[in-house]
Each structure stands twice: as structure tokens, then as C-alpha cells.
Amino acid sequence: MVAELSALQQIIHALTGLNGLPVVIVEVIVTTIYTSLGGFKVSFVTDNVQGAMVVGLIIIAVITVGTEIKIDRSLIESSGFLEPSLLGWQLIYILPIAILTNDFFLSNFWLRTFASKTDRDLRIGVSIASGAVFCILILVGATGLLAAWSGAWPGDPPQLGSIAFFLLLENLPGWVVGIVVVMTVSLSTAAFDSLQSAMVSTGSNDLFRNRLPLIYVRILVVLCIVPVVVVALKSPSVLQIFLISDLVSASSIPVLVFGLWDRVYWWTGFEVVAGGLGGILSVFIFGTIYFGDAHAGAKLILLENGLYADDWSAFGAFVAAPLGGILFGIAALILRLSYHFLLAKYQHRRFDALDKPEPRLQPSRPRSSDDVIAPVQPGVGGPSFPSHKDVEEGHIASDHGAKTSLRERVASKWLKM
């Protein structure tokens, strides 16, 4: 949320020269009102608006950039962007790890995963979205090169490279800039309401276990937005905010995903928490050894030197985070099993820490829209649920039933943690 508002403020200032604070405040108020009234369902509507705005923005950018922007060929060679570099090779590893783990980390992606109608719809939607996002990122990423080669970036005074796309559009006719501003605010609003919905869901379900009335959770979210706005306006770089989030997710997500594997039933929430904290600690240890200074090692956790430092610090941080998280998770597993083993010996009972838990019957959604909802037949002593049939919201498996759905396996593991 901080990154979203910070990016909007910087973009408004870059395109119009105006203070972005009023726009940020209006966006926060509007999204809070309609999200409180419409709930998570309204986020699906704004997602469609967001998709349309992205396509429209790309079309306008392609046409106007192709006709209005002039490339200074002397800047191509002097920029050095087409030459191989140490940073370029490092980013081949850093970006996939950072983006993939961060997508696992964000609650709004999980909300959409569980809200999909069937597993088949989920796979189709993810496949289509991945292809579309890949094409869009290729086009948007290329605008950074065009901004540098046309002289739009870094500008005077120098601007951050994270808004190079909008610096390029700044040189376009006024009517194009106006449309871009409207589309940018719409995109930011659609993304921000998803984050608000995710925060409400996380607070209600994970923190209060749905025992606190939803209205109080929404009030807490509104109170949290105030410091979010303040931090967003004070943030010097959107990229650094994302990098901190990426580093946290790179530390915690590998040990979490490892626990979602059905065969690794002995991996518990203790290992996940210990591994996540251990991943962050590993970054500190690496930074202390690399720089030879504990203070510099602590600053590496916040990536204060950014992603484009001319050394191995950022690369090492993104290697140490997942690797250290896994190693600390394994160490926590050994510690927990050793404790239970010694406790079992002391109490003269069987060591059962590695016993496979009994499967719990949980409702899940259909695997495809072709599945037929089975009627509930009344019987003696209560209703009868046919085996391997979809009942109401999902699929009820018998003791020896069919394989559980993707969503059921993920939800079961998630709840156990």
C-alpha cells in the first residue's frame, strides 16, 4: 500500500508538476468508502476496469511514442544498456526470485486464488494472465530504454528510473498526458482497493479468527491507512519499498511452500516462522561478513544501497534470504523433533512426532464447472452425503475418496500453520 501511494504521488508530480498529496488523499478516501460498502466483490469489478485501463494505456503509449518520440542514436552506445554487465547477470536471478516469492506473499493474490470458481478456472485464468502480463511488461520495460535514448531520463533535475515510463509520456501532447493521468489514477485505485480488501480479510481471519465484528476490522484498516499515507509521501524510492518486501518474501515463502507439499506432513508452522526469521538473519550475517561491519549488514536488510549497487551485496542478500530460511527451517525441525523425542523418552511413551496426521474432511470447490451438484438425501439419523460428489460449496471426500483439489490441499496446509 505504501508503494502504491508513493508511486502515484511521484507520477502525478512528474507528469503535471503538481503536488501529489491531494490526489493520494482523495484516492484513499474514495477506495475506503466503496470498499467498505461493497466488500471484496467490488474489487472484481475494479479489476476489470484495471485491465481495460492497462490495455488502453499501452495502446496510447505505443501509438504516441512511435509517432512523437525521437531517438538520439548517439545516446544508444554511450548509455551502455546494450552491453553485458555484472548487474544484468545478477538481475537474471534476482528478479524472478523477488517477483515470484512476493506474489506468494501478497494476500490479494491468495484472495483471488480461493475466490476462483474451480481449479480448472484458476489454471486457465493464471495462464492467460501470465501471458498478458509478460507481453505488457516487455512493452513497459522497453520504455525505460526509450526514455534514456530520447533524453527524457534522467531529466533535469534527475528523476528516479522507476518512473522512466511516465517521464517518456511527459513529452507527449497535453491531451495525451491528461488521459494518462486519468488512467494512472484509475489503475492505482483498482490496485489499492484490492490491498485494502486483503488487509481486511487478513485481519479478520488470521488475527482475530473471525471473532471480531467486521466493522471493527474495517475501522482498524482505516486507522492503519493514516501512517501508510505519511510513509508513502516520505518514501524516497518506490523501488526500495518493493525491494524490502521482496527480501522479506524471499526469506519466508520458500519454507512456506515447502510445507504445502503433502508428503512433507511433518513440516509445521514452527519451521515456517523460524525459517522466515532465519532468512532475514541470514541477510544480516551475509552483510556483516561481506562489508566487515555489523551496521552495514543491518542496512543491507533495508537495501539502502538499492538494487543497482556496483557490487555483490544485493545479489548476495537475495541468495542468503531463501537459502538461509531453508537452513534455519531445517535446524528448527531438528530442534523440534529432538525436543519431542527426549520428551517421549522422559515420559516413557511412543515417539509420535513423525506420525502422519489423520486427514480432515474439508469441503472444497469443484475441480471443473462440469461437476454436478449432488442433492442432499435425508436419511435416518441425519443427511447422507454421497461419496465423490460435489455438495453445496465443494467436494466432500470419503475416507478412501478421490484426491483432494488444489485449493483444498493449500487451504488445509495453510490453516495448520
**pLDDT tens per residue across span 76-116:** 888 888 888 888 899 999 999 998 998 888 776 777 788 78
* Residue 120 to residues 47, 116, 241, 391, 405, Cα–Cα distance (Å): 20, 9, 35, 18, 10
Q: Kindly state the average pLDDT of the residues 52-79.
A: 82
pLDDT higher than 70, residue 328: yes
Q: Label residue 299 exposed, middle or buried (CB < 10 Å: 0-12, 13-18, 19+).
A: middle
234: phi then psi, degrees, rounded to nearest 5: -95, -10
* Count of C-beta atoms within a 10 Å radius of residue 319: 19
> In whole angstroms, what is the distance from residue 6 CA to residue 13 CA?
11
Q: Kindly state the average pLDDT of the residues 302-322.
A: 89
> In whole angstroms, what is the distance from residue 333 CA to residue 313 CA?
29
Write the Ramachandran bin of 39: left for phi over 0, alpha for psi from -120 to 50, otherwise beta.
Answer: left
Q: Kindly state the average pLDDT of the residues 48-75.
A: 82
pLDDT higher than 70, residue 383: no
Please report the pLDDT score of residue 97 as a whole number: 93
pLDDT higher than 90, residue 337: yes
Cβ atoms of 301 and 316 within 8 Å: the answer is no
Average pLDDT, the chain: 80
Give the percent of the chain with pLDDT over 90.
Answer: 23
Band of residue 285 on the pLDDT scale cut at 50, 70, 90: very high
Please report the pLDDT score of residue 3 as a whole number: 78
Please report the pLDDT score of residue 401 as a whole number: 42
H/E run at residue 145: helix 119-150
**What is the three-class DSSP state of 391?**
strand
**What is the three-class DSSP state of 377?**
strand
| Strand partners for 390 | 373, 395
Band of residue 385 on the pLDDT scale cut at 50, 70, 90: very low
232: phi then psi, degrees, rounded to nearest 5: -65, -40
Range with the poorest average pLDDT among 130-144, 217-231, 284-298, 379-393: 379-393
Highest mean pLDDT among 37-41, 319-323, 387-391 belongs to: 319-323
pLDDT higher than 90, residue 290: yes
384: phi then psi, degrees, rounded to nearest 5: -115, 130
Q: Where are the domains of the chain?
A: 2-236, 237-357, 381-416
pLDDT higher than 50, residue 10: yes
**Which residue is listed with cell 490495455?**
55
383: phi then psi, degrees, rounded to nearest 5: -70, 155
Q: Kindly state the average pLDDT of the residues 41-56.
A: 80
Band of residue 347 on the pLDDT scale cut at 50, 70, 90: very high
Cβ atoms of 353 and 340 within 8 Å: the answer is yes
Alpha helices (H) in 262-372, listed in sequence order: 269-291, 294-301, 313-347
Q: Kindly state the average pLDDT of the residues 248-265.
A: 90
Q: Which three cell numbers stand for residue 194?
A: 484490492
pLDDT higher than 70, residue 380: no
Give the percent of the chain with pLDDT over 70.
Answer: 84
- Tell me the pTM: 0.70
Please report the pLDDT score of residue 371 as a whole number: 54
> In whole angstroms, what is the distance from residue 399 CA to residue 360 CA?
9
**What is the three-class DSSP state of 302?**
coil
pLDDT higher than 70, residue 367: no
Q: Kindly state the average pLDDT of the residues 290-316.
A: 89
**Which residue is listed with cell 476489470?**
48
pLDDT higher than 50, residue 373: no
Q: Kindly state the average pLDDT of the residues 294-312.
A: 87
**Which residue is listed with cell 471426500?**
397
* Count of C-beta atoms within a 10 Å radius of residue 320: 26
Cβ atoms of 407 and 364 within 8 Å: the answer is yes
pLDDT higher than 90, residue 343: yes
Q: Which three cell numbers stand for residue 215?
A: 466493522
pLDDT higher than 70, residue 388: no
Type of residue at 231: V
Q: How many residues does the chain have?
A: 417
Band of residue 256 on the pLDDT scale cut at 50, 70, 90: very high
Please report the pLDDT score of residue 364 as a whole number: 56
pLDDT higher than 70, residue 236: no
* Residue 413 to residues 103, 116, 260, 274, 364, Cα–Cα distance (Å): 18, 19, 6, 17, 14
> In whole angstroms, what is the distance from residue 77 CA to residue 149 CA?
9
Q: Which comes out higher in pLDDT, residue 274 or 39? A: 274
* Residue 255 to residues 176, 207, 245, 251, 331, Cα–Cα distance (Å): 46, 21, 16, 8, 12
pLDDT higher than 60, residue 400: no
Q: How far separated are the first and last CA of the chain, in Å rounded? A: 25
pLDDT higher than 70, residue 259: yes
